[in-house]
């Protein structure tokens, strides 16, 4: 049988934390050694009590809940749900389409008035005097 000295480091471990060989050695030793069996049982109870601690809750310091609710209230303006984002995007696109359509229609309605304006068919440049150095270079 393995010695208490070599088994002792294995006693705090859970079964799934040991190799098959380690688990078997521990089980064999504990079956024949009252002292290590007691230690092993104490660790089991400790493990069970620690797992129970996950269900025990502590009362937070005063104002924690209120602080959290205020903080998330400030942040909540950013919507993260993709369905809501898709709906908002569609609504935005619809509004944009309506605005553009109205702008185009208004422009078409105002265009005939613009046609009545008399514009010269050809634009001519006025006869400006040519600067002397430029004239000399041209010659």
Nearer to other proteins, 62 or 114 (CB): 62
Cα 65 to Cα 58, 78, 120, distances in angstroms: 13, 21, 76
Nearer to other proteins, 54 or 119 (CB): 54
Binding residues with other proteins: total (CB under 8 A): 45
Which region, left, alpha or beta, applies to residue 66 given φ > 0 means left and ψ of -120 to 50 means alpha?
alpha
Pick out residues in 27-46 that bind other proteins (CB under 8 A).
Answer: 37-39, 41-46
Pick out residues in 79-108 that bind other proteins (CB under 8 A).
Answer: 79-84
CA pair distance 27, 17, nearest whole angstrom: 14
Q: What DSSP state is assigned to residue 10? A: G
Nearest to 8 by CA among 51, 46, 22: 22
Q: How far apart are CB 14 and other proteins at their closest, in Å?
A: 9
The contact mask relative to other proteins for 117-136 (x = CB under 8 A, - = no) is: --------------------
Nearer to other proteins, 60 or 104 (CB): 60
């Amino acid at each position: 049988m393995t010695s208490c000295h070599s088994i002792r480091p294995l006693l705090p471990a859970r079964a799934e934390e040991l190799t098959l060989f380690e688990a078997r050695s521990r089980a064999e030793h504990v079956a024949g050694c009252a002292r290590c069996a007691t230690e092993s049982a104490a660790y089991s109870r400790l493990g069970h009590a620690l797992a129970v601690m996950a269900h025990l809750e502590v009362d937070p310091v005063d104002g924690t809940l209120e602080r959290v609710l205020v903080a998330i209230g400030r942040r909540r303006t950013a919507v993260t749900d993709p369905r809501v984002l898709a709906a908002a995007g569609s609504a935005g696109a619809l509004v944009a389409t309506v605005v553009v359509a109205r702008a185009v229609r208004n422009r078409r309605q105002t265009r005939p008035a613009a046609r009545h304006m008399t514009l010269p068919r050809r634009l001519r440049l006025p006869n400006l005097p040519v600067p002397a150095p430029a004239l000399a270079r041209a010659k």
